[in-house]
Chain A
Amino acid sequence: MSKKKVGIVGVPPLEVIKALNREKCRIIDLDEPQIQKAINLTSPFLPKVYCAILRTVVLNAMHLDLDKIYIDVGPGKCDCAGHVATILESMVDYPVIRCRNMDTVSFGTPVCRTGMPLIDKFMTITGKVQSDASRETLMPCKPTAGFWGVPPRDFSILSIFPETTHIYGWTRCMENKTPADLELEAYFNPDIPTVFFAQSFCAKTALAHHFSKLHPRALYLDCDVTAGSSTRAKIEAFLELSGVRTNRD
């Protein structure tokens, strides 16, 4: 018997993930690009001017043969996820299960604070959403730069940062398995130059913008589906002018 394929949106509660793992389901993260298709194919279902992550969710749901979807519509995701759940329910003929992740048990944030290529850190953190295993031990490194925000739709921008970049914001909450922990999400380190990343049209752009104004050395960076040359150049210039050694030095 083949494994059931279950899509997840956001970070469903740990009990849901445990149950899916017990049932040996194949968990597919619908927030990430899973297929090579044009994102504009979602335009019959969503406006083009909309969060690229949620457009990716719909694109994946359009093309993947799934058995069900769990979508976090609680404070750990965003209001838009609730609206997208409504759209998914009308699109697919399998269950779309709304859940609200209010988990408070901390799993720790070792990956966010260790020395590792930033892109690998993000892949590790997003990959661990599907796991209910306890945290691993990783040595923290001294941070030279910070990345605050959600995982970007386009991971390519992460290659510019040094391995000593610490991750903050919602991605840190993801690793901690407490996506609704607003206090943890609001935390940043004022002593290191930090990029406050905003996925265009995401409700969290307001937080990114707000915190960037509170931080003494910050770059507010808004990016939609893919990062253009000016987006990359902004990051490069910010890090260089802040005295941060990057992978390109």
Chain B
Amino acid sequence: MLLADFGTSYCKILDTDRNGPPVIQATRDLESNFCADLATGHNAGRRSKKSINELTALARGGEQLIQDPDFVLLDCGSRDIKYVRYGHNRIIDMGWNAECGASMGFTVELLKKYYDLDYNTIPVPDRGFSVTCGVLGMSHIFDAVIDGITESEAVARFVYGIAMNGYRFAGSPDRLYLSGGLCDNPLFVGSFPCEVVLLGRFVLLAGLQEFMKRDIR
């Protein structure tokens, strides 16, 4: 069975008939006729036989991967951020910020390429910008550079700002389970003022696998 998490920038694809790990492919490179059996994400409706709501896939994936009965799981994607909060193994809150406050992951990657930065080598700054969304956040970077701050420091403050934005959006938990491509960005992860447990990029795929098992049962 072909499972897919169709992200805005990257697709995560798992063929359950093979034993290999999931494959990550840039969305722009995906063949036009690619069709999954079960999928989630923005393009799931038109690129799969059956689609699952992203928040539901995130929650089901979290249930599979997290042993703690009380947890907050935040998924930081290219276009949006979303979270689920569980108490006593039961969903008690959730949120999905898809419009205002969006495009942050995408902007982080754009900035890396434009300024030729390596996020592994940039230290976490002691403060960040107040970032409302990716586009407005970039204005802060441009202004900071004009004021003489280095490009890497300005971008670091932007990244710090979006981490704080996600942290507050998720309800400022003491421990945060993090999902999505930004798990691989140490500057972003280090900017959270709380314990961060990295779950990586395949949490929604884990959620789809759970749906698949239920369908089989």
Contact = CB atoms under 8 A, between A and B. Distances in A.
Interface of A: 216-219, 228-230, 233-234, 236-238, 240-242
A241 B59 contact: yes
B99 A236 contact: no
Contact of B94 (A216, A228, A229, A241): A241
Nearest to B80: A230
A240 B94 CA distance: 12
Interface of B: 53-56, 59, 80, 84, 90-96, 98-99
Contacts, number: 43
A228 B59 contact: no
Contacts of A219: 93-94
A160 B121 CA distance: 47
Contacts of A217: 90-92
Dominant secondary structure at the A interface: helix
Given A216-B92, A234-B55, 17 more contacts: A218-B93, A228-B98, A228-B99, A229-B98, A230-B96, A230-B98, A233-B53, A233-B54, A233-B55, A233-B96, A237-B54, A237-B56, A237-B59, A240-B56, A241-B55, A241-B94, A242-B91
A230 B99 CA distance: 9
Contacts of A216: 92
B56 A236 contact: yes
A240 to B, nearest CB: 6
A230 B53 CA distance: 9
B77 to A, nearest CB: 12
